[in-house]
Amino acid sequence: MSAKTIAIGNDHTAVAMKQEIKDHLAKKGIEVLDVGTNGTGSFQYPVSAYRVARLVADGKADGGVLICGTGIGMSLAANKVHGIRACACSEPYSARLTKQHNNANIICFGARVIGPEMAKMIVDAWLEAEYEGGRHQARVDMITEIEQTQALQAADET
Ligand code: RB5
Please check whether residue 13 lies inside any domain of the structure: yes
Confirm whether 79 is domain-assigned: yes
Model confidence pLDDT, tens digit, residues 47-97: 999 999 999 999 999 999 999 999 999 999 999 999 999 999 999 999 999
Å from CA of 92 to ligand 1 middle: 21
Give distance in angstroms: CA of 9 to centre of ligand 1. 13
The answer to the question of residue 143 being in a domain is no
Asked, for residue 149, whether it belongs to a domain, the answer is no
Residue 102 Cα to ligand 1 midpoint, Å, equals: 24
Domain containing residue 110: CATH number = 3.40.1400.10
Does residue 152 lie within any of the structural domains? no
Q: Mind listing the pLDDT tens digit for each residue in 91-147?
A: 999 999 999 999 999 999 999 999 999 999 999 999 999 999 999 999 999 999 999
* Domains in the chain, number: 1
Atom 1 in ligand 1: residue holding the nearest Cα: 69
Residue 139 lies in a domain: no
What residue's CA is closest to ligand 1, atom 5?
A: 69
Q: Look at residue 106 and give its three-state secondary structure.
A: strand
Whether 145 is in a domain gets the answer no
Which is the closest atom of ligand 1 to the Cα of 73? 10
In the sheet that 63-68 helps form, which strands lie side by side, from edge to edge? 31-34, 5-10, 63-68, 106-110, 86-88
In a domain, 101, yes or no: yes
Sign of CA dihedral 44, 46, 51, 56: positive
Q: What is the mean pLDDT of residues 3-16?
A: 96
Structural domain span for residue 107: 5-133
Residues lining ligand 1, Cβ inside 6 A: 11, 13, 45, 68-70, 72-73
